[in-house]
Amino acid sequence: MKSKTTTLIISIFLGELGIDRFYLGYIGLGFLKLVTVGGFGIWWIYDIISIARGKMRDAKGNALM
């Protein structure tokens, strides 16, 4: 189980580099986010909102705790 708080902190500070996606197990999406610098900022903001609202899941489909 991945922590929602940890994921949110990682996303806020390192989300533009895709580290949050790597942490959740999405290796391909993490690399894509790294190359596009957080989807030009839009994907980064979207991920922060999704994590904060509890909509994000890890790669295995488990909800963040």
Instruction: For 5-59, write each residue's pLDDT tens digit.
Output: 999 999 999 999 999 999 999 999 999 999 999 999 999 999 999 999 999 999 9
Give the 3-state secondary structure of residue 39. Answer: helix
**Domain count along the chain:** 1
Residue 63 included in any domain: no
Q: In this predicted model, what pLDDT tens digit does every residue of 30-45 receive, in sequence order?
A: 999 999 999 999 999 9
Q: Is residue 64 part of a domain?
A: no
16 falls within a domain = yes
Asked if residue 58 belongs to a domain, the reply is no
Is residue 64 a contact partner of residue 47, using CB atoms and an 8 Å limit? no
Residue 11 included in any domain: yes
The residue range of the domain holding 14 is 4-53
Give the predicted TM-score (pTM) of the model: 0.93
The pLDDT, as a whole number, for residue 25 is 97
Residue entry with tokens 């994921």: 7
- Tell me, yes or no, whether 40 lies in a domain: yes
